[in-house]
C-alpha cells in the first residue's frame, strides 16, 4: 500500500507537469491528455518492458489511467491557480522525479537486479516520461542539458542503498532517499549548480 501510494503521487505530479507543458504549447484537449499520459507513464512503461513485467502496470491496473484522467481534468480547471504558483512546472517535475526514482529502484529489487542496475532503472523511470514529453512538444529534454536532473536521481538512488544499511525502518529510508533527490534538484536550481560545460564559447 505504501509503495502504491508513492506511485500514485508520482503519477499525479508528472501528469500535472504534462498538462502545464501541453497548455503552454496551446494543444487541444486530446493533445493535453496525451502529453499528460506519456509524461506520467512513459518511464514506467519502458522500465516494465525492460524487466519483462508485462502487460505493463497501467494496463493491468486501471487506477493509473483513472488517476491521469482525473488529474488532467482538474489541471485544466485549475490551470490559472497552478500558474500563480511560481515555477509550478519545475515543482511538480521535481516531485515526480523524486517519487519515481524510488519506485523504479523498488521494481529493480523485486526483479533481483544489482544495486547499480536498480539505480539505472530508477533514473530511467524518473526521467524518460519527461524526455518523451519534451520531444513531443519540440523541446530539448532537460536530461540532455547541463542541469542537475538525472544526476539527482542517481545520487538519491545511491543514498537509498546507504540508508538501508542504517538501523532505519525501510519506509523511512525510502522517504529519506526521495527527499535527497528532490532536495538536490531544488538546491542545484536555487544556486545555479550545473554540470560542466564541455563546449568552448566562441570569441568574436
Indicate the pLDDT class of residue 106, thresholds 50, 70 and 90: very high
**The model's pTM:** 0.87
> Does the structure show a pLDDT above 60 at 10?
yes
pLDDT digits (tens, 9 = 90+) for 166-189: 998 888 999 999 999 999 999 988
Averaged pLDDT of the chain? 88
pLDDT digits (tens, 9 = 90+) for 46-56: 999 999 999 99
User: How many structural domains comprise the chain?
Assistant: 1
In a domain, residue 196? The reply is: no
In a domain, residue 199? The reply is: no
Q: Which residues pair with 10 in a beta bridge?
A: none
Cα radius of gyration rounded to whole Å, the chain: 17
In a domain, residue 197? The reply is: no
The three cell numbers locating residue 89: 512546472
- CA distance linking residue 80 with residue 97, whole number of Å: 24
In a domain, residue 118? The reply is: yes
Sequence-separated (6 or more) residues with CB below 8 Å from residue 186: 94
In a domain, residue 23? The reply is: yes
Cβ 156 vs Cβ 178: under 8 Å? yes
For residue 142, the enclosing domain spans: 2-190
**Distance of CA 12 to CAs 41, 74, 178, 180, Å?**
10, 11, 16, 20
Amino acid at each position: 500500500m505504501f509503495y502504491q501510494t508513492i506511485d500514485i503521487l508520482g503519477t499525479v505530479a508528472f501528469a500535472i507537469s504534462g498538462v502545464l507543458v501541453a497548455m503552454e504549447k496551446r494543444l487541444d484537449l486530446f493533445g493535453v491528455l496525451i502529453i499528460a499520459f506519456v509524461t506520467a507513464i512513459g518511464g514506467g512503461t519502458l522500465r516494465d518492458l525492460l524487466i519483462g513485467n508485462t502487460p505493463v502496470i497501467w494496463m493491468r491496473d486501471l487506477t493509473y489511467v483513472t488517476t491521469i484522467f482525473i488529474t488532467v481534468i482538474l489541471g485544466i480547471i485549475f490551470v490559472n491557480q497552478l500558474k500563480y504558483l511560481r515555477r509550478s512546472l519545475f515543482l511538480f517535475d521535481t516531485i515526480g522525479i523524486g517519487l519515481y526514482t524510488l519506485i523504479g529502484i523498488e521494481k529493480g529489487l523485486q526483479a533481483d537486479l544489482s544495486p547499480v542496475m536498480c539505480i539505472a532503472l530508477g533514473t530511467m523511470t524518473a526521467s524518460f516520461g519527461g524526455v518523451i514529453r519534451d520531444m513531443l512538444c519540440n523541446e530539448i529534454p532537460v536530461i540532455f542539458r547541463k542541469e542537475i536532473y538525472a544526476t539527482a536521481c542517481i545520487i538519491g538512488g545511491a543514498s537509498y542503498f546507504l540508508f538501508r544499511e542504517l538501523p532505519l525502518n525501510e519506509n523511512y529510508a525510502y522517504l529519506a532517499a526521495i527527499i535527497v533527490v528532490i532536495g538536490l534538484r531544488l538546491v542545484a536550481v536555487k544556486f545555479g549548480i550545473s554540470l560542466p560545460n564541455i563546449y568552448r564559447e566562441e570569441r568574436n
